Amino acid sequence: MDELKKRLERLTGDFCGVYEKLEIADKTEKVTELEAKVAEPEIWNDVKKATEMNQELARLQEEVRPWELLKTQITDMGELIEMADDEMKAEVEEQIEAMENEYEKLKKALRFQGPYDDSDAIVRITSGAGGTEAMDWAGMLERMYLRFFEKSGWKVTCLERTRGEEAGVKTAVYEVVGVHAYGYLKSEHGVHRLVRLSPFNADHLRQTSFALVEILPVIKADTDVVIDEKDLRIDVYHSGGHGGQGVNTTDSAVRITHLPTNTVVAIQNERSQHQNKEKAMEILRGKLVQMQLEQHASSLADLRAGESAGWGQQIRNYVLQPYKLVKDTRTGYESKEPDKVLDGEIEDFIDAYLG
């Protein structure tokens, strides 16, 4: 039992260090404060504020719950192991191993030290040149990510979706809510390239298609990223999106252009112009912050137009013909099972990028 006690001591010491570094105790205290606030009936006089507070509470609960549970398990094991005899050795060893495995999974949170890594994410998929073939590829990526989001247990909301004329999508925009959603998904930001035998031409020739995946942090508060009003051009127009007759017969759609960088965001899915403008501003803040990170700019004022991750070199190749291989050009990580990857099994690619 002495060796098991030493294993538990090592686990306890390491766990406490990471627990403190991630400020789990402070976040648990914040959970208690938010729980008290959302329980007050008057908070719902401001539905928007109450909803945002509920969302923050849910995110923090999801983050701290496994840490607090493991902390309790380690404490309980410390008490149990003092009373355990040799007959219990196998059971104690099994439980310690399970806690070590759980701790290794939780410790991955240490990778998320970026300024927006704990934010929710906007995922924007855009088909490249190539007509139907490229739109179909964008649709395949959309399906891949939706499968991954489902497996991750994240909440997903469609903000914008323009279907292709024959197949796939021209553009699809989703908001993803989950612990470290942006931190996990930032590895997917860039151009994705597909090589396959085309199902859309009579000769069934090999075709190369491209799609751009943008991963943006969700920044809801204007105070976090201040954009000068004079730098914006806001246009409204008839919506062509879903939502009933009211959406299609009023000027509810909003297009916002950030003039210094010529960055354009258009949203038409919401029923009101105000909602569309609010969501477009949220996405614009994310796009400008992403550009700031890419350009290593000290402020939004230092951003340069046209210098963001666009249609340059691809970050990942998906080859279905003449052989099967998915390879990340940045990390060198590869999989010879593209069908599984396109079914949402992208965790290994993300882990390879995050290190």
Per-residue model confidence (pLDDT) at position 245: 41
Place domain 2-111 in its CATH homologous superfamily.
Release factor (1.20.58.410)
Average per-residue pLDDT for the chain: 88
Q: Which of 87, 109, 86, 106 is nearest to 1 (CA)?
A: 86
Per-residue model confidence (pLDDT) at position 329: 96
Residue 186's pLDDT band (boundaries 50, 70, 90)?
very high
CATH number of 116-355: 3.30.70.1660
Domain boundaries, the chain: 2-111, 116-355
Instruction: Give me the mean pLDDT over the 24-48 stretch.
Output: 92
Does the pLDDT of residue 168 top 50, yes or no?
A: yes
Please state, for a pLDDT cut of 90, what percent of the chain lies above it. Answer: 58
For residue range 282-305, list pLDDT tens digits in order.
Answer: 999 999 998 888 888 878 888 877
For residue range 126-136, list pLDDT tens digits in order.
Answer: 999 878 999 99
Please state, for a pLDDT cut of 70, what percent of the chain lies above it. Answer: 93
For residue range 59-74, list pLDDT tens digits in order.
Answer: 899 889 999 999 999 9
Per-residue model confidence (pLDDT) at position 87: 86
Q: Which of 63-72, 229-238, 341-350 has the lowest mean pLDDT?
A: 229-238
Give long-range contacts, CB 8 A cutoff, 24+ apart: 141-144: 141/192, 141/211, 141/213, 142/168, 142/169, 142/172, 143/342, 144/341, 144/342, 144/343, 144/344, 144/346
CA–CA separation, 194 and 274 (whole Å): 38
- From the number of C-beta atoms within 10 Å of its C-beta (0-12, 13-18, 19+), residue 327 rates as middle
Does the pLDDT of residue 255 top 50, yes or no?
A: yes
CA–CA separation, 217 and 229 (whole Å): 21
Residue 355's pLDDT band (boundaries 50, 70, 90)?
confident
Amino acid at 229: E
Per-residue model confidence (pLDDT) at position 271: 67
